[in-house]
Chain A
Amino acid sequence: MTVTTMDSNQRALVSAKLAILLFITAEVMFFGGLISSLVVFRSGPDPWLAPGQLRLPLEVTAVNTLVLLVSGVTFHLAYRALKAAQAEKFKKLLTTTAALGILFLAIQGFEWVRLLKFGLTLRASIFGGFFYCLVGTHALHVLGGLIALLWVLRRAWADAYSPEKFLGVEICRIYWFFVAGLWPVIFFLVYL
Chain B
Amino acid sequence: MSQDQQGHDEHGHEHQQSFISHYIFSTDHKMIGKQFLLLSAIMACFGGFMAYLIRWEVAFPNTPAPFFGLVTPDKFNAIITLHGTIMIFFVGMPFLSAFPSNFLVPLMIGARDMAFPKLNMASFWITFVGAVLLVSSIFVPGGPVAGGWVGYPPLSASSEFTGVKIGAVLWILALACALVSSSLGGMNYLVTAATLRAPGMTFNRIPMTVWFLLASAITFFFSAGPLIAGAFMMLMDNAFGTGFFLPAKGGEPMLWEHLFWFFGHPEVYVLFFPALGFGLDIMATFTRKPVFGYKLILWCTGSAVALSYIVWAHHMFMSGLNPLLATPFSITTILISVPFAIIIFCMFATLRNGAIRLELPFLWIIGFLATFLIGGLTGIFLGSASADIYLHGTYFVVAHFHYTLFPSVFFGGFGAVYYWFPKMYGKKLNEKLGFLHLALTFIFFNGTFWPLFKVGMGGMIRRIADPSFYPQYHQFQGLNAFATVSAICLIATQVIFLWNLVLSLNHGPQAEKNPYQSNTLEWIADSPPPHGNWGPVLPVVTSDPYEYSKPGEAKDWQPQATNLPV
Contact = CB atoms under 8 A, between A and B. Distances in A.
Chain A partners chain B? yes
Interface in B181-230: 183, 186-188, 190-191, 194-196, 199-200, 221-230
A54 interface: no
B230 A33 contact: yes
Nearest to A7: B6
Interface in A1-39: 1-6, 8, 11-12, 14-16, 18-19, 22-23, 25-34, 36-37
Contact of A44 (B188, B195, B252): B252
Contacts of A15: 1-2, 115-116, 191, 194-196
Contacts of B236: 122, 129, 133
Interface stretch (B238-246, B378-386, B400-408): B238-246
A137 interface: yes
B345 interface: no
B250 A46 contact: yes
A78 to B, nearest CB: 23
B566 interface: no
B225 A30 contact: yes
B370 interface: no
A84 interface: no
A53 interface: no
Contacts of A19: 115-116, 187-188, 191
Interface string B243-284: 110000111100100010010000000000000000000000
B192 to A, nearest CB: 8
B232 interface: yes
B226 A40 contact: no
Given A26-B183, A29-B222, A126 B244 contact: yes
Given A37-B259, A44-B252, A122-B240, A18 B194 contact: yes
Interface string B1-44: 11101100000000000000000000000000000000000000
Report whether over half of chain B's contact residues are helix, strand or loop; otherwise say mixed.
helix
A19 B190 CA distance: 8
A18 B191 contact: yes
A33 B228 contact: yes
B255 to A, nearest CB: 6
Contacts of B242: 122-123, 126, 128-129, 133
Contacts of B241: 122-123
B199 A11 contact: no
B462 to A, nearest CB: 28
A6 B198 CA distance: 11
Nearest to B250: A126
A32 B226 contact: yes
B485 interface: no
Interface string A142-171: 000000000000000000000000000000
A177 interface: no
B563 to A, nearest CB: 11
Contact of B225 (A14, A28, A130): A28
B356 interface: no
A26 B194 contact: no
A180 B196 CA distance: 32
Interface residues of B, number: 45
B342 interface: no
Nearest to A27: B225
B233 A133 contact: yes
Contacts of B504: none
Contacts of A28: 225
A31 B225 CA distance: 7
A137 B225 contact: no
Nearest to B242: A129
B430 interface: no
Nearest to B2: A12
Given A8-B2, A16-B1, A33 B227 contact: yes
B2 A37 contact: no
Given A3-B540, A40-B255, A22 B191 contact: yes
A11 B195 contact: yes
B225 A29 contact: yes
Given A37-B229, A37-B244, A29 B224 contact: yes
Contacts of A41: 252
A115 B262 CA distance: 34
Nearest to A37: B255
Nearest to B180: A26
A34 B229 contact: yes
Contacts of B6: 8, 11
Contacts of B188: 19
B159 interface: no
A14 B193 CA distance: 12
A130 B250 CA distance: 12
B243 A129 contact: yes
Nearest to A137: B232
B542 interface: yes
B259 A3 contact: no
A12 B230 CA distance: 34
Interface string A125-141: 11011100100010000
B187 A23 contact: yes
A102 to B, nearest CB: 26
7 contacts: A3-B200, A19-B116, A26-B187, A27-B225, A36-B226, A122-B241, A137-B232
For the complex of A and B, 3 pairs with smallest distance between CB atoms: A29-B225, A33-B229, A33-B226
Given A123-B242, A125-B250, A129-B233, 17 more contacts: A1-B542, A6-B195, A12-B2, A18-B191, A22-B190, A26-B221, A33-B225, A33-B226, A33-B262, A37-B244, A37-B259, A122-B241, A123-B241, A123-B243, A126-B242, A128-B242, A133-B233
Interface of B: 1-3, 5-6, 115-116, 183, 186-188, 190-191, 194-196, 199-200, 221-230, 232-233, 236, 240-244, 249-252, 255, 259, 262, 540, 542
